[in-house]
Each structure stands twice: as structure tokens, then as C-alpha cells.
Structure 1
Amino acid sequence: MQFLVVPGAGAPADVARVGAKAAGLIDASNEGLPVPPFFVLSIDLFRAWRATGALPAELDAELDAGLEHLARATGKRLGDASAPLIVSVRSGAPVSMPGMLDTLLDVGATSASVDGLAAQLGDRAVALDVRRRFLESWGAVVGRLSRTRFDPRAGVRVAARATTPPPPITPADLEAKIARHEQTLREAGVLPPDDARAQLRMAIEAILASWDRDRARDFRATQRIDDALGTAVVVQAMVFGNASGASGSGVAFTRHPVTGEKHLFGEYLPRVQGDEVVGGRASPAGLSAAASGRRAAESLERQSPTAFADLERIAMALEARYGDAQDLEITVEHGTLWLLQVRTAKRSPRAAIRVAVDLVREGRIDRETALARLDPRAIDALVSRALPPDDQLPEPPLTIGVPASPGAVSGRAVYDPTAAVELAARGEAAILIRPECSPEDAPGIRAAAGVLTSSGGLTSHAAVIARALGRPCIVSASEVRVDVDHAYAEVRRPAGVVVPVPETITLDGATGRVFAGALPLATTFALPEAREVLEWARDLATPGWEDAIARLL
């Protein structure tokens, strides 16, 4: 086979051929971990498609073989109305590009699949919800339509509206919504074919094409990633976190991605698919009851204690195997835990240094390995700006959200990613305020001096990108109502008090506080372990660290 890669041989994956996402899944499968059945179309397919602008003719036979592998593993077939196979179609570059490439979920959810899917899941409303989600995913990825075309509230969002999953709606409600979605797609000229195989081919092309979307090109340019690398395509049997009962989706880190503390950290939402968690469209609970506070009942630990215990065991085993902090995307369907992604965790500069030092102290890695994993510029990120002591602050904060990436910054409030880019080009600091951040907002996040969102969690796109760039970020500021269309936000406090967000604000990414105006900021050295790392580099004469040693030791 020229393009098809099917896991199961037990050999390590070739990251350069199948991409990092597939490599992680193949390794997890080889370890016997709970990974939904999948196959990979290698980066060779991307190169063939890019050279000609079309999928090669020989792909059909390889798709047949890949789908037969999934049919044997699941007992379901793509396009079979009585036992429908529904798949996700995901990108997979050799290097991490979080949120930059596209994913299509629920491919194969044709109108004829609903009855068979309802029999599989034991709930017709869930089957209709899968069809509804597919149409929205198709519109966003294939049709490049804004989510406001499907949800008029998407541009004006009260964060508190998404702090818990929406209440159940009836099959009749869902059927009406599906009809409206179909009409929207028809009017836009992007209604998906009602044939599962045709959907799959078009989905594969859409994922390949996402390599050349503006946000992906911009990310590669800023991160110095080779534009010729390309992406693989992972076709995986869907597991349904939006199913009834003990079902949900989340993200888990073996160490905290902001602070580097050694404990299982993550976020979880019952009865949703994973894009709602990583997309920041809802504010999730925690994995553990203790971490969820008043929302303990929504935590994975309370929703499915068995799945939570499985996750704890698997997470620690994976960290021990790879000798580094891991990031897991998970779905629970009817109480069974599934791994959808396994990768080395993205983390803030602070967390990167603390994790490296802790792993050396624990005897997991040596100092040379730790230094090889660190960028000397991470030290500079820890020489950061901070607010003065509380007793020197001129007034209380406007509001408080969830701290997602540390540091303090003042800037002009803007509500559109393009405005952040324009201000940055003029040398002005912009604070990008959004109801939630989608991958399309990535250029604005990179241009902004800081980011504030009214919903979303620590694993949302905004938080992940901000941490990677060392930008201060606050998420889930639930008192903030954002009106993107009118470039306006206000803080809605208890007892009906409404305070407009002023033109200039200050973010404290370490505490989640938002202040009116530009506050005086002091320079601090944020982490004692940073000095220890510098001393390692000096003692070992590590190349590339000379400048940081000279300036900071």
C-alpha cells in the first residue's frame, strides 16, 4: 500500500510518514491502551494531492482496505444504514500545530444512518444530535462558514450560559434544527452529499487543504516550521461523548500545563463531544471532584469513577514510558474510557522549567536531556512583568477569571483578531477579548499582548496558544458579556450592576484578575528553578545557553 497505514504490527510508528498524532495513537495501541480503531493515510498522500490538486485514483482501493479494517474491529460499516460506522477525519503533522489544522467529526452521519445509530446508542435524540453536529462541522470546515450561521448567539455570548451542558431537547427539536442546518448549507452551496463514502473523500480533501489555510501558514512562519512537511490524515471510528448516561469528553495532563505541578490535571464536560472542550465553547469542570468545586457532580470522578481510575493509571504509565509530561484527549462513552490523542504536553515556559527540573530530581532524565528539551528563551519568559502588591493597587479588579497563562500586561481592548494584528503592526499593545477563541483567531492571539475570554477552560485553543507563546491569558471570565459585532464588553455583577469594559485594561495572568486602566508593572524573576537550570547549562557548557548565562547569572 502506498498511502495506507494500519496499526497492529507492534513496530514503532514513523513520525515523518504518519505524523505525530497517528504515531502517538499507534504507540498507545501497541501498548494495549483503549484507542478507538483507526487507520492512517500517510503524508505521501498529501504530497501526491498537492502536486496534482486531486486525490490519486489508487486511493479508492486503499480506502476500501482501511474501511474493512474498521469494519472487522467494530462490526460497523460506513454507509450501512442498519449498523452505520461514523468516523472522525483528523489532521496529523510531524510537528505539533495545536488547533491550526482542521478536524471533521461524525463523518458518515447521513440521514439514513439515524435509525441505525439510535439502535446502537440506545437513544434517538443522541443519534439526531450526531447528525446535527456533523452538519455544523461540515459547514465550518468544508464550507468555511461562521458558526453564527448555525447559532446566531455565537457573536454575543454570556460566558455563564455555557458553564454546564445544555438541557436535553426532544427529537422533534433536533429534527427541526437539522432541517434548518440543511437549508443553511444548501443556500451556501455546501450541503454535504448524503452518501457516506462521498463524505469521507471530501473530508479527506478538506483536511489536506487545511495545511494551506492562512492561520496554519502564519503559525508555521512564526514557529519556523518547514512549509513542505505536510499532514497525514487519521480516520478513526467515532466514540460518542455526547451519548446518554456516563459519557463525556475532556483533556488530561500528567502535570499542570501552567505551573508544572506534579498531579493529574484536566477538564471534563459530560455529554459533549471533544470539540466543545478544546474549542472553548463551554467552561468545563475538572477531572476530579476536588478540582471541580461546586461542579463536583460534573467531574469525571463522579460521573464515571471507573473511567477516572483507568485514566489515572494510564496517565502515569504513559509519563513513565515517555519520561515527560503527557497530554491526553479523552472520550468516555457509557462509562468506557477511550484515548483520542496522546502527545507530549504543551506547557508554559514556567511549567517547562519546573517539569524539567522535577524529572531530573526524580531520576527520570539527566540534566543534558532536560536542557535539550528547554529553549533558553523560556528563561527570559520568566523574567516577567507583575502587578505591585495588593495593598498598592489603586482599586479592586473589574472581574476575575481563570488564570491560563501567567504574566501581567496592559493594553487596548480589542474584540476582533484583525484589530489585534493591526495594533501590533503599529507597535501598540492589544488585549484581545473574545467570548471564546476558535482556531481562526490564532493570528490575533499571536499578535495580542494578552488574551481574555468569557468562556472556555485551560485546555481551550486560546489557553494552549497563549501558553506556547508566553502571552498572559485569562479564560472563563464568566461575568464578562462580549458583543463582538459592536466591539463592546461589559461586566455583569450580582445585584444587576453593569460596568462597561474600558478602552485600556490590565490582565494578571497569574491570578485571573482584570483591572481597568494601565497599572504600573514591576519586573520579577518568577521561578527559583530557572536559576538551577542556568547553573546546569553553565556547568555543562551547553551550546546555545551562553547569552542567557551571561545576562542572568
Structure 2
Amino acid sequence: MVRYVYFFGDKHADGDGSMKNLLGGKGTGLAEMTNLGIRVPAGFTITTDVCTHYYEHNKKYPEQLEGEVKSNLKKMEEAMGARFGDERNPLLVSVRSGARVSMPGMMDTVLNLGLNDDTVKGLINKSGDKRFAYDTYRRFIQMFSNVVLGIDSSVMESILEKKKEERSVRNDNELTYGDFESLVDEFKDVVRKKRGIEFPSDPEEQLWMGISAVFESWDVPRAIIYRKLNKIPENWGTAVNVVSMVYGNMGDTSATGVAFTRDPSTGDNGFYGEYLINAQGEDVVAGTRTPQPVNEISRKNPDDISLERVMPRVYKDLLGYADILEKYYKDMLDLEFTIQEGILYMLQVRTGKRTAKAAVKIAVDMEKEGMIDKKTAVLRIDPYSIVQLMYPAVDIKADKDVVAKGLPASPGAASGEVVFSAEEAEEETKKGKKVILVRIETSPEDIHGMSVAEGILTARGGMTSHAAVVARGMGKCAITGCSFLGINEKNGEITVGDRIIKRGDIVTLNGSNGEVYSGYVSMVTPEINEDFKSIMEFANEFRKLKIRANADTPEDARVARNYGAEGIGLCRTEHMFFKGDRIKAVREMILSETLEERRKALAKLLPMQKSDFLKLYSEMKGYSVNIRLLDPPLHEFLPKTEKEIRELSDIMHVSYERLKAKAISLHEVNPMLGHRGCRLGVSYPEIYEMQVRAIMEAACEFHNSGNKITLEIMIPVVSIYEEIKLLKELVNKKTKEVMKEYGVEFEYLVGTMIELPRACMIADEIAKEAEFFSFGTNDLTQTAFGFSRDDIGSFLPDYLNKNILKTDPFIELDRSGVGELMKIAVDKGTSVRRDIKLGICGEHGGNPSSIEFCHSLNLNYVSCSPYMVPIAIISAAQASLKDLSK
């Protein structure tokens, strides 16, 4: 028979730590502490299965639940020496939520349940304090009315404040027993007026109403939003904990508090916490009184009075419990406690939330202390939190004026003056100013402005838009898809609702949550320390996947290597075309009418590209360098203004009208599915010939200088076998020609980027020529879904809110669709070429879930933005460790 209720108390618990899915985090903690001999108020946990049943059966309970609750309530009465609903010696209870994972403040709690006009007299008998008893009674009615009966908390709060003001007028700030007794009557009257009922007086009725209210709180908006943000499944449900009340507000020998076994901000190994004398838990949460430090070491002000000083025996007990629990759980813990008349009770134990810096330090320290092993240390780290150690971050304590919100495309924080063009960004930075580049959307042509800006803000675009990808590669803060921005570049204004931000105004970007603030906001500077290096060393011991970086410049490559990258998985050669005056030569090449004119323009680019490749090889020092031949559609490089066309006309000695007509003719309706990638190589083989010569000349010179080189040449957008066959022949022919000129030979690979569904389906044919596959998951996601990564922001929120999509597919790889295409490609590719090298170079290469999937496919490597390399290293190690534990 299914069991729905588990008791804990009197040094025995029915449950244990293995039952977290059933008892929830709070229930499991209470059971574990009880079994460890730690003093816990007796109680019972109603399982998460009941919550699931409740919602699946039109909010009705299993038939046997009532009997189990009554039986366990009797056990509570025996353990606590009091009776529920008794007029002389009443047992009062709290009803608390407790999901599998911590959802702080998201669900409801009811305290002091079981009070009525009769049992309050029993509370007076037990405590000997009328004021305390009626204060507790009014607290109960106030909380129950809000949580269970749905009366706005401000209604009764305003009555309480009015009562305090009346006292204040008489120069007496402390409410009396009589005040609280009258508040009880006034609060009951509010219930009559607002709900048309008498306040429930039957303790058993109160209990069931409280239990239902906690289950109902699983489905309130704030809990739903929290679950979406933290990817907590809707069907998990919450447990309900019914716990005997103990009181921290029974005078100066009573208190309540929260403590951590180590500092949650720094990770320092020292007991840390706060408490309030003569207070209940909600007093701490309300913030109406300033908490005091638990120990002398934590004192910050001379007036602070520590628990260690005022209750030394209780403090010693608390420290002892903390030590027992940390050694048992082998982690930093968050503890809640109450002291009732000098007796310490533990109310909750859970894994403590911590900053990234603290998480790394605690993991490394515990490994040194022999408490955990290296595997556990690595598994303790949230990969995404590592970003906090590498980028500046907005100070969470700072005042903020939020003016807009978009997608957190690239982490970190940045402040600066608003500018609206790349040219303006360059001009203002030359004057010593810090700027934020604001665009409707960015293009490759904006690269020079993006490189000098502190941060980038766009109205359009998703998490893998041009602005997002380039910003992440540069390690710059970026917010994209901020669709509520009305950008008027001509007038130099941004409108957000009724607010206007003008050119030169200061804004701050928070790339971690997508918020845009008005003015400067203080920031926290990152620091890479020995603990960070240690956790990376631990991770490197366990990961199977190699980690590469998407790097187009020597600076990118240097950052990537410093963070531990083992090569370049994607060098986008087109990004090199925007340096200095190169764009003019590129445009000259594109707009040329004849092959001779094109070759003349390409000859100008050859030495520039060769120089770039030579620098990349030098930075990689023998690690693999994967260079993608020209990929984007030509329209991205075309002049867009009359001034630019006239300037090019003078360089090429061609009429303005002819150039403009040519530019118009090259316009495409859907350029990302048009004349791009290998299709350019088919139409204009001279472009790829120039690039291969530049790649190989640099490689031969590097090799002849006594250096090792591991080179991969990638042909993009292949979906037809004949494309890869034709262009591989071109690459090999030009390569042999250059090697012969230099009198040198070395191995290199020619492969393709798998980014179209058809390529996945004919991967066995493609693998006859391709020596490696690099999955371009950005485009593969676009073409598999039919979603534009730049425009998805207009409907993605609706899809997420309505659970059509669980996550943004451009952030987290879609395993059931895109992932299946990848699996087909891997299986087909390896069936033809067993030693084919397999990798991923899309932006998913920095996403932990996507990396775990790549590990399961037995890929050789993942490639990501340079600043995401540590995230990828930790994620790859965790994927290996999880695989080993299966």
C-alpha cells in the first residue's frame, strides 16, 4: 500500500536522505537531522505524491491520507507532550512547503496553526505571558488570512501600523496585551467583511485548509516563473511539512536565526550567520529589525551583540550541530534555528546557496581537507556560474533604475555613453570616452565599433545573432532582442515607453540578466585565483571531450589558450575582412565584372589573410586550427550608403551608377539560404583559391620555421556530395601547388561544416570526401526548425510561456530534433570513415546541456567562444563523470 505521510521526532524518523524526491528538501533535512540525534521539533511530511494526486484528481486527496495524518498527529502529541486543539496544553503547528529543490520564498507557509479563542488561553498557561499569547494569535490570523483566505496582506498590515502609531503618539512604542487582543477582533472582522465568513476556529479545519493552501502555492505565478527560470519540472510537486511550533519570541532567552557553515560570499571556512533575540522567523524576513551576528568574529559594529556572548551554551550547541551536519553532508550548509527559552531547535538544513567565487573555494578547500574527492568537487560547480569569475558584474546591492530588458546575449556588465554607429563609437573612444553601441541590429561591418565599445545593445536579434556571437567572442557585454527600444539613429534617441534616452546619456548593461539601467551602476571586479586554476585542473583530469575555441584573431586565440583551449574549432575568415581598409578590397572583389578584376582585388587580400593566419598558428603552438572558407552571403560586405559607393567608385575607377546597379543586382530575398558558403566557391572559385593559398603559404612558412602545425580546412554549407567533391579537389590542387613552391609536405585535413538537414541525411556520401565534420548548430537549428535566429525574439516569449518550447533552441541544443539529425550524421559518417574527426562549432558549444549531449554522441571536441572555454571544460568533465556513474 502506498504511504503518504512520514513522521520525524523523538530521535526517530521514518524517512532518510535517499527520499528527497518523495519528502522534498525540507522534509529530508528534518528526517536526517532527527536520525543524527539533533534536536528537531516533532512533525510529519506529506509526500510530493500527494501534490501530484491533488492536481491530477481535481484537487482531491487520496482516501487514506486523512487517516495517516491523524495517526501521525498523535505521534507528534506524544513526542511534544501537548495535544492539538487542547484548551489547557495546546500543540500548535506550522505548515510549510518543501520541494525537491530549494525554491526560496516562492511557496507559502502558515505558522501558529491551531489557535482559537480557547487554545490561546492554553498558550497563556504554558507561557505565562498574555502579551506573547495574543501577539502569536494575531500573527496567526494575519498570516492565515493572507495565505489561506487570499486577503491582501496590506489590509491587516495597515491596521497594525495604525495601532503602532496610536501607541507612538502616547510615547509608548510597545504594543500591549490589550492591543493584541483588540487586533485579533479587528482582524476577524476583516475576514467577515472581505470573505463573508467567520474566521475558522476548528484546529482540524485550519490544518486541512493550511495543507491545501501550501499545495495550491505550487501553482501560483511566482512559483511557476521560478520553475521556468530554473528548469524545475512542473510535475515534481511539493511536499508539505507539518511541524510542531517552537518560539523564538518568548523573551530574552529565546531567539531565531539563520547560519551558514562557511561564508556564502567568499567561501572562507568559518561559521557565519545572524540571529534576532525575542523574534519569530517572519520578523527576520520582514527586515524591520537589524539582525545581530552569531559569533564574535562576525561582529562589524561595536554595538553588535553576538549569540556567542549572550548565550554561550546555546552557541556551543549550534556550532556542534553545524560541525556534525557539514561532516555528514560534506558540503556548505544553510541552517535555520530557533531558541525557545534557552533550548536550541534546528528547523531546516539545506545546501547553502553561494557565489561562484565561494563555490570554487569551498569545493577546492573541501578536497584539500579530505572531505570530498576531486570528482565531487567538479560536480559541485555550476558551469554557468564560472562566468561570474571572468567578467565584471553589476553589484547586487547597488540601486538600479531599470529602463528596458532584452536577452542576456553575452555576460558581464558595462557602462558608457550611448552612441548609434560604429564610426561614432570609434570617434568617442578616441576622445577617452567609454561608450555603449546601440543598434537596431549589428552587421559584420560594425566590427570596428563593437571592438572599442564597452558593451552592445540591439533592438533585434537573438542569442546567436551577429551581435551576440561577436560580443561573446570578444568577451564584451551584450544585450540583444530588446524589442521595446524605439531607436532613432538620425535624431540620436531611444524611446522606451514614455522615457527618452539621448545620444551621450549614460546607461549600464547587465549581460547576466538582460537588464538595461539608466546611469552608472556600481560593479564588482572579477578575479582569477589559484582556486579557479585548481578546479580547472581537476576538471581536465576527467573530461573526455577536447575543448576548442571559435577564434578569428590572435587576441581571441590568446584568450582561449590562457583559459585552456586545445585549438581553434572555427576561424571565420570573413571577420578578417573588416580590419582597416580591407573592406574596400573585398567590395572591389565582389563588385568586379570580370575575372581579371576579381583576381586583382583578391591579390590585395592575399597578404593580409596570410599574415592573420600566421599569427593564429603562432598563438596555437601546434594545436589544431580549423579555418572555414568564406561563408556569409556577399550582400553583408556591400556598401550601404551613397558615400561608400562613391568612395569605391573612385578606387575602382568605375561609375557610381554601374556600382549601384551591381549592388542592387546582388541583393537577395533570403540571403542566409542563398548565395553563400560553398555556393560562392562554386561560382567564384578564385575566392577560395586565394584563401587556400593564404592559409597554406602561412602554414608552410610556419612549418619551415621549425614549428608544428595541425591544420584543418573547412568547406561550409555543403548539402550535396558533388559540392564537397569539387571543392576538395580545388583545395588539394592549390595546397599541393603551394607546398611544391615551398618544398615542404605535412598532413592537413579537409572537411565540412554540417549545418543543413540534407547534409545530415547524406552524411555517408559526404564522408567519402570529408575528413572531419564540424556541426554548425546555429544554422542547423535554423534550418531544422525553420526559425530565424535573428527574429525568434518576436515570438519566443510566447512559446516559452505556453510551454510550446521548454528552452530557447539557440541556447540549448534541441536533442529530439536537431540532436537526432546530428546522431544520423555521426552514424552515417563513421560508417564510411571510421576515423572521421567530429566536433561542434556552433554557439551551443558553450552550453552545459548541449556539451553533455555532444559527449553522448562521442564527438571529439566542442568549440565555443574564448570566454566560454572554462564553462565548456567544467561541463565536459561533468558529462564524463555522470556517464561513469551510470
TM-score normalised according to structure 2 size? 0.46
- 2:140 is matched with 134
Q: SS of 1:126's equivalent?
A: helix
Q: SS of 1:105's equivalent?
A: strand
Matched, 1:22 2:10: no
Name the amino acid aligned to 1:20. Answer: G
1:225 equivalent among 232, 238, 251 = 232
- 2:6 is matched with 5
How far apart in 2 are the matches of 1:540 and 1:50? 43
Query: Unpaired runs of 5+ in structure 1?
Result: 157-165, 387-405, 415-419, 432-502, 509-514
For 1:83-94, list aligned pairs within 5 A: 83-94=89-100
1:274 equivalent among 273, 277, 281 = 281
C-alpha displacement of 1:145: 3.4
For 1:140-155, list aligned pairs within 5 A: 140-152=146-158
2:295·2:308 contact (CA, 8 Å) conserved in 1? yes
Q: SS of 1:181's equivalent?
A: helix
Q: SS of 1:228's equivalent?
A: helix
1:269·1:284 contact (CA, 8 Å) conserved in 2? yes
Question: Residue 290 and residue 18 in structure 1: after superposition, are their counterparts in 2 closer, same or farther (change >3 A)?
Answer: same
C-alpha displacement of 1:12: 2.5
Matched, 1:197 2:204: yes
How far apart in 2 are the matches of 1:507 and 1:146? 35
C-alpha displacement of 1:167: 5.9
- 1:376 is matched with 383
1:108·1:200 contact (CA, 8 Å) conserved in 2? yes
How far apart in 1 are the matches of 2:295 and 2:101? 31
**1:435-461 deviation line (CA, Å, top 9, x unaligned):** xxxxxxxxxxxxxxxxxxxxxxxxxxx
1:413 equivalent among 380, 391, 401 = 401
- 1:329 is matched with 336
How far apart in 1 are the matches of 2:79 and 2:329? 28
Name the amino acid aligned to 2:405. Answer: A
C-alpha displacement of 1:200: 0.2
- 1:472 is matched with none
Moved more, 224-233 or 526-535: 526-535
**1:374-394 deviation line (CA, Å, top 9, x unaligned):** 1221211112326xxxxxxxx
Bigger Cα Rg: 2
Question: Residue 37 and residue 544 in structure 1: after superposition, are their counterparts in 2 closer, same or farther (change >3 A)?
Answer: farther
**1:159-203 deviation line (CA, Å, top 9, x unaligned):** xxxxxxx96431111112222222222222175301111000000
Q: SS of 1:242's equivalent?
A: coil
C-alpha displacement of 1:516: 10
For 1:150-161, list aligned pairs within 5 A: 150-152=156-158
- 2:629 is matched with none
Query: Unpaired runs of 5+ in structure 2?
Result: 163-171, 414-504, 511-516, 550-562, 566-865, 871-886
Matched, 1:174 2:180: yes
Moved more, 207-216 or 71-80: 71-80
Q: SS of 1:100's equivalent?
A: coil
C-alpha displacement of 1:79: 1.0
Name the amino acid aligned to 1:312. Answer: L
Name the amino acid aligned to 1:227. Answer: E
Q: SS of 2:237's equivalent?
A: coil
- 2:83 is matched with 77
Aligned-pair RMSD on alpha carbons?
3.3
Name the amino acid aligned to 2:319. Answer: E
How far apart in 1 are the matches of 2:77 and 2:44? 11
For 1:99-110, list aligned pairs within 5 A: 99-110=105-116
Name the amino acid aligned to 1:525. Answer: E
C-alpha displacement of 1:280: 3.9
1:41 equivalent among 40, 43, 46 = 46
Name the amino acid aligned to 1:384. Answer: Y
Matched, 1:354 2:361: yes
**1:401-422 deviation line (CA, Å, top 9, x unaligned):** xxxxx847988526xxxxx8xx
- 1:249 is matched with 256
Q: SS of 1:111's equivalent?
A: coil
How far apart in 1 are the matches of 2:509 and 2:253? 37
- 2:683 is matched with none
Greater relative contact order structure (CA < 8 Å, 6+ sep): 1
Name the amino acid aligned to 1:413. Answer: D
2:405 equivalent among 411, 424, 427 = 424
C-alpha displacement of 1:294: 4.3
Name the amino acid aligned to 1:135. Answer: I
- 2:586 is matched with none
Matched, 1:236 2:239: no
Name the amino acid aligned to 1:424. Answer: K
1:285·1:298 contact (CA, 8 Å) conserved in 2? yes
Q: SS of 2:90's equivalent?
A: coil
Matched, 1:119 2:125: yes
- 1:537 is matched with 539
Question: Residue 170 and residue 274 in structure 1: after superposition, are their counterparts in 2 closer, same or farther (change >3 A)?
Answer: same
Question: Residue 154 and residue 344 in structure 1: after superposition, are their counterparts in 2 closer, same or farther (change >3 A)?
Answer: farther
How far apart in 1 are the matches of 2:337 and 2:509? 31
Matched, 1:315 2:322: yes
C-alpha displacement of 1:545: 7.7
**1:200-232 deviation line (CA, Å, top 9, x unaligned):** 000000000110011111111111111100111
Question: Residue 307 and residue 543 in structure 1: after superposition, are their counterparts in 2 closer, same or farther (change >3 A)?
Answer: farther
How far apart in 2 are the matches of 1:311 and 1:355? 21
2:132·2:250 contact (CA, 8 Å) conserved in 1? yes
1:42·1:232 contact (CA, 8 Å) conserved in 2? yes
How far apart in 2 are the matches of 1:410 and 1:300? 30
C-alpha displacement of 1:290: 4.4
Name the amino acid aligned to 2:366. Answer: L
Aligned residues between the structures: 440
How far apart in 2 are the matches of 1:144 and 1:259? 40
1:81·1:113 contact (CA, 8 Å) conserved in 2? yes
Name the amino acid aligned to 2:387. Answer: D
Name the amino acid aligned to 1:538. Answer: N
**1:477-502 deviation line (CA, Å, top 9, x unaligned):** xxxxxxxxxxxxxxxxxxxxxxxxxx
1:269·1:299 contact (CA, 8 Å) conserved in 2? no
1:210·1:216 contact (CA, 8 Å) conserved in 2? yes
TM-score normalised according to structure 1 size? 0.73
Taking only the aligned residue pairs, the percentage that are identical comes to: 34
Question: Residue 309 and residue 281 in structure 1: after superposition, are their counterparts in 2 closer, same or farther (change >3 A)?
Answer: same
How far apart in 2 are the matches of 1:349 and 1:219? 20
How far apart in 1 are the matches of 2:261 and 2:102? 18
Q: SS of 2:149's equivalent?
A: coil
1:537·1:545 contact (CA, 8 Å) conserved in 2? no
How far apart in 2 are the matches of 1:264 and 1:369? 22
Question: Residue 280 and residue 245 in structure 1: after superposition, are their counterparts in 2 closer, same or farther (change >3 A)?
Answer: closer
Question: Residue 150 and residue 528 in structure 1: after superposition, are their counterparts in 2 closer, same or farther (change >3 A)?
Answer: farther
Q: SS of 2:253's equivalent?
A: coil
C-alpha displacement of 1:249: 0.6
C-alpha displacement of 1:537: 1.5
User: If each structure's helix is expressed as a fraction of its own residues, which one has the higher value?
Assistant: 2
How far apart in 1 are the matches of 2:13 and 2:526? 52
- 2:520 is matched with 518
**1:321-360 deviation line (CA, Å, top 9, x unaligned):** 1111111100000011100001111111121111111111
Question: Residue 61 and residue 124 in structure 1: after superposition, are their counterparts in 2 closer, same or farther (change >3 A)?
Answer: same
Question: Residue 318 and residue 79 in structure 1: after superposition, are their counterparts in 2 closer, same or farther (change >3 A)?
Answer: same
How far apart in 2 are the matches of 1:112 and 1:343? 37
